[in-house]
Amino acid sequence: MSKRKKPLQSRSKERVTQIIQAARELVSTTEIADITTSLIARKASVPVGSVYQYFEDKNDVLLALAEQIMAEHDKRFETLFEDVSSHAHWRHVVKVVQDAVINALMEDEVYKRLSRSLAWTREWNDINRVSVNRLVDFFSGYGAFRERGLTETEARNTVRIIVTITSAVVRSAYETTTREEAQRLLDELPKMTIAYLSTILGD
């Protein structure tokens, strides 16, 4: 992970927020190759020195944006899971949450652009690992696992497999040449997940 300076005072935190928000707006409208730290600073209405005060370079700003976006996604998935998991059959819970994950990642153009630009970096992989661990920590507490007698380790391993497969299929969908091919991949994902879980949770 980046060793970027953490803002402590409220004014500094606001400035960092401005910088990351400016990067989000730029990524949504501008080719990432054309984005510079100077452009980010102008968009954020701060001196370029303020960007370098908290970030090593342009990629460091983009990685901070990626962290923010992933945390936002994860929180939405957790909230949705809490809403449906207490009263619905596990098959429905899986489909609802996984559909939400697919829709969020496929429709978030900023996330997709960041992924294409930063996926080669160690820092991007580190951020994804944090996101995966966050989801594993949360979803492994699902009551259906305990009801079927899974240990904590077994539940965590099961969730990790599902999250990893979901991420891999969505990334593959990004890279397909046609919308139809991407949709076929995404349509099969919930089916594969439910088939896998049915061997563990039964009907």
Is residue 7 situated within a structural domain?
no
Give the pLDDT confidence score for residue 184 in this predicted structure. 92
Weakest mean pLDDT among 8-12, 20-24, 187-191: 8-12
Owning domain of residue 113: 66-201
* pLDDT per residue as tens digits for the range 36-76: 999 999 999 999 999 999 999 999 999 999 999 999 999 99
Burial class (CB in 10 A: 0-12, 13-18, 19+), 38: exposed
Give the pLDDT confidence score for residue 86 in this predicted structure. 81
* pLDDT per residue as tens digits for the range 152-195: 999 999 999 999 999 889 888 888 878 899 999 999 999 999 99
Give the pLDDT confidence score for residue 176 in this predicted structure. 83
Number of domains present in the structure of the chain: 1
Is residue 81 situated within a structural domain?
yes
Report the sign of the C-alpha dihedral through residues 111, 112, 117, 120, in that order.
Answer: positive
Is residue 167 situated within a structural domain?
yes
Is residue 8 situated within a structural domain?
no
pLDDT confidence bin for 8, thresholds 50/70/90:
low
Average pLDDT score over the chain? 91
Give the pLDDT confidence score for residue 7 in this predicted structure. 61
Give the pLDDT confidence score for residue 123 in this predicted structure. 94
User: Is the distance from CB of 190 to CB of 95 less than 8 angstroms?
Assistant: yes
CATH number, domain with residue 70: 1.10.357
Cβ of 110: how many Cβ atoms within 10 Å?
Answer: 18
In the DSSP assignment, the letter for residue 47 is: -
Please name the residue ranges forming H helices in 7-151.
10-29, 37-44, 48-54, 58-85, 90-107, 109-118, 122-139, 143-147
Give the pLDDT confidence score for residue 12 in this predicted structure. 76
What share of the chain has pLDDT > 90, as a percent?
78
Is residue 131 situated within a structural domain?
yes
* pLDDT per residue as tens digits for the range 109-148: 999 999 989 988 999 999 999 999 999 999 999 999 999 9
pLDDT confidence bin for 203, thresholds 50/70/90:
confident
Is residue 55 situated within a structural domain?
no
Is residue 166 situated within a structural domain?
yes
Is residue 115 situated within a structural domain?
yes
